Amino acid sequence: MPVCPSGASSHTVKNGHIHNGKQRFKCHDCGRQFIEQRRPASRSPYLLSLITRPLRLPVYEWLKSW
């Protein structure tokens, strides 16, 4: 699941779709609803490393600190 726009939580769930078919999410911590923002991989080296490396880190703690 994507991180909440507030940047403070990865506790998000799918919450239906908007009219053009994009996935909508809702944050359980602050209640905000948002559409996933796709960014160029070259501008998110940290996300790239998340995908390409084995998940050995406590990801939730990592995302909270981000």
Residues that bind Zn ion (CB under 5 A): 4, 6, 9, 27, 29-30, 32
Structural tokens at position 1: 């699941």
CB of 32 to Zn ion, least distance (A): 5
CB of 59 to Zn ion, least distance (A): 17
Query: If phi over 0 gives left and psi between -120 and 50 gives alpha, with beta otherwise, what is residue 18?
Result: beta
40 vs 4: CA distance, rounded Å? 18
In the complex with Zn ion, the residue whose CB is nearer, 32 or 64, is: 32
* CB neighbourhood size of 25 (10 A): 19
In the complex with Zn ion, the residue whose CB is nearer, 23 or 49, is: 23
CB of 9 to Zn ion, least distance (A): 4
